[in-house]
């Protein structure tokens, strides 16, 4: 990029850091020779015997592995459902519980070096209807902080608005848990996992975070809890991994994480608001979410838009737990409220997306795709601001 004149040194550094972080996530380095890697293999022995349409709660898959394979994982619609060590025999049979509706099954195996096989895949439509799914909404929003200079206006109201909308839409088929302001601590958030462990596989789980977000020079993202130390977020802040952990290992397989805690680099609040105040005369501005970056040890400037870069460069399906992520991409685009909205624009756009796109969670498959939902939110935010 730099040699071609497409980017300056700082931008190239940002992209490189994002690339290296992604390599590290998969146990790789810059020195890895990808062309010389001999990857393990997995074969679905009974693939031809599996019907594309079923009416059953589970199916059996018979698997065979190459000699270098050490562990394996079976995914259903991107969610890990079975995993384990490869037996000495190199073969195993596993029972897979099926969702109502579409099931896109994939199996991967990993060797001792962490290299993955190509996936072995097949799809089956399960016509068995055992029970209607329940929606579980967990909303976490912070407008009031111990450090009151960082207070926001609508973050706590955002989660209450989503809860109210979903409660009206799904009535007796929904559970709602919200934590706001002083309730938002690492301990209280971790306790929510116990409730989510009681979900069923056909249930839908929506977890939303609204408040400040922070990113350090190592691209580590933190959600600002009520009692966070903004100068040392590792102590009381909630890491991105901890946010994802809420959705990891729970029975429900339809999982959505909403993150309205965007980081936009080292913006100057007064300057930023002055620049955007005339963008839409029907919109009034307020304190931007995510207006702080942690200055790490690498340099004194920080790396701007690091979390935004990670979200835009890499697919938003975390393979680790199969949850989808819709996040606010940049602080300045989402730092607006209006008397007509009575919310942050991200929350307003999400609620209207569900209404206008006809999101129907009672069907065996989603009425709209996550990509369509995401596209609607981003377009709505752009148009409104």
Phi, psi of 123 (to 5 degrees): -125, 145
Domain match, 81 and 143 both:
no
pLDDT beyond 60 at 141? yes
On whether both 11 and 72 belong to a single domain, the answer is no
Of 95, 126, 157, which residue sits at a domain end? 126
Task: Supply the pLDDT for residue 282.
Answer: 42
The predicted pLDDT at position 301 comes to 36
Total domains present in the chain: 3
The CA radius of gyration of the chain, in Å to the nearest whole number, is 22
Q: Which two tokens stand for residue 105?
A: 């099954």
**Range of 32's domain?**
1-36
User: Is residue 339 predicted with pLDDT exceeding 70?
Assistant: no
The residue with greater pLDDT, 42 or 356, is: 42
Q: 262 near 290, Cβ under 8 Å?
A: yes
Coil, strand, or helix at residue 345?
helix
Whether residues 44 and 14 fall in one domain = no
Question: φ and ψ at 233, to 5 degrees?
Answer: -65, -20
Distance between CA 273 and CA 337 in Å, rounded?
Answer: 12
Give, in order, the Cα–Cα distances in Å from 78 to each of 22, 23, 103, 135, 337.
19, 20, 10, 19, 35
Note whether 148 and 112 are within 8 A (CB). Answer: no
Same domain, yes or no, for 247 and 149? Answer: yes
Question: How far out from the chain centre does Cα 26 lie?
Answer: 18
* Strand ranges (E), the chain: 42-44, 53-54, 58-65, 69-76, 79-85, 91-97, 101-111, 120-126, 135-141, 174-180, 204-210, 213-215, 221-223, 238-239, 254-260, 284-285, 324-327, 336-337
- If asked whether residues 12 and 56 sit together in one domain, one would say no
Could you tell me the pLDDT band of residue 356, with boundaries at 50, 70 and 90? confident
Average pLDDT of the chain?
A: 79
Q: Which among 89, 104, 126 is the end of a domain?
A: 126
Rounded Cα distance, 301 and 296, in Å: 9
Higher pLDDT, 301 or 230: 230
- Looking at per-residue pLDDT, the higher value among 100 and 113 belongs to 100
Which of 335, 342, 345, 344 has its CA nearest to residue 277? Answer: 335
On the 0-12 / 13-18 / 19+ scale of CB atoms within 10 A, 205 is: buried
Residues 310 and 265 in one domain: yes
Residue 360 has pLDDT above 70, yes or no: no
Pair (251, 177) in one structural domain: yes
Partners of 91 in beta bridges: 64
| CATH number of the structural domain spanning residue 341 | 3.40.50.1460
pLDDT over 80 (residue 192): yes
- Please tell me whether residues 304 and 237 are part of one structural domain: yes
Query: CA 347: distance to chain centroid?
Result: 16
Structure token pair of residue 129: 């209807």
Task: Note the maximum CA span of the chain.
Answer: 70
Residues 238 and 324 in one domain: yes
State whether 119 and 233 are in the same domain: no
pLDDT (0 to 100) of residue 153: 85
279 and 166 in a common domain: yes
pTM for the predicted model, two decimal places: 0.79
Q: Among 73, 107, 126, give the residue marking a domain's end.
A: 126
Rounded to whole angstroms, how far apart are CA atoms 313 and 53?
36
Looking at the structure, do residues 97 and 143 belong to the same domain, yes or no?
A: no
């Amino acid at each position: 990029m730099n040699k071609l004149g497409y980017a300056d040194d700082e931008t190239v550094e940002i992209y490189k850091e994002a690339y290296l972080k992604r390599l590290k996530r998969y146990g790789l380095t810059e020195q890895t020779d990808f062309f010389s890697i001999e990857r393990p293999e997995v074969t679905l022995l009974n693939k031809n015997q599996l019907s594309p349409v079923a009416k059953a709660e589970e199916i059996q898959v018979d698997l065979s592995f190459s000699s270098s394979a050490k562990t394996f994982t079976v995914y259903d619609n991107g969610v890990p459902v079975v995993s384990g060590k490869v037996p000495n025999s190199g073969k195993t049979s596993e029972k897979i519980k099926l969702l109502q509706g579409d099931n896109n099954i994939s199996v991967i195996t990993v060797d001792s070096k962490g290299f993955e096989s190509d996936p072995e895949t097949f799809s089956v439509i399960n016509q068995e209807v055992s029970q209607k799914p329940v929606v579980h909404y967990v909303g976490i929003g912070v407008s009031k902080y111990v450090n009151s200079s960082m207070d926001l206006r609508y973050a706590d109201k955002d989660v209450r608005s989503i809860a109210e909308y979903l409660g009206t839409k799904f009535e007796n088929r929904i559970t709602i848990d919200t934590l706001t302001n002083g309730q938002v601590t690492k301990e209280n958030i971790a306790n929510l996992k116990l409730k989510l462990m009681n979900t069923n596989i056909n249930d839908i789980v929506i977890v939303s975070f609204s408040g400040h977000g922070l990113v350090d020079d190592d691209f580590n993202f933190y959600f600002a809890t009520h009692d966070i130390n903004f100068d040392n977020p590792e102590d009381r802040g909630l890491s991105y991994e901890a946010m994802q952990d809420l959705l990891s290992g729970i029975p429900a397989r339809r999982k959505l994480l909403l993150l309205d805690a965007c980081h936009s680099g080292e913006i100057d609040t007064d300057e930023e608001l002055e620049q955007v105040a005339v963008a839409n005369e029907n919109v009034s501005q307020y304190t931007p979410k995510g207006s702080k970056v942690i200055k790490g040890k690498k340099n004194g400037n920080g790396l701007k838009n690091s979390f935004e870069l990670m979200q835009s460069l890499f697919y938003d399906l975390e393979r680790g737990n199969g949850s989808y992520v819709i996040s606010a991409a940049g602080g300045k685009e989402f730092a607006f409220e209006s008397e007509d909205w009575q919310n942050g624009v991200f929350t307003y756009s999400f609620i209207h997306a569900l209404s206008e796109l006809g999101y129907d969670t009672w069907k065996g498959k989603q009425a709209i795709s996550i990509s369509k939902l995401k596209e609607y939110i981003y377009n709505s935010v752009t148009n409104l601001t």
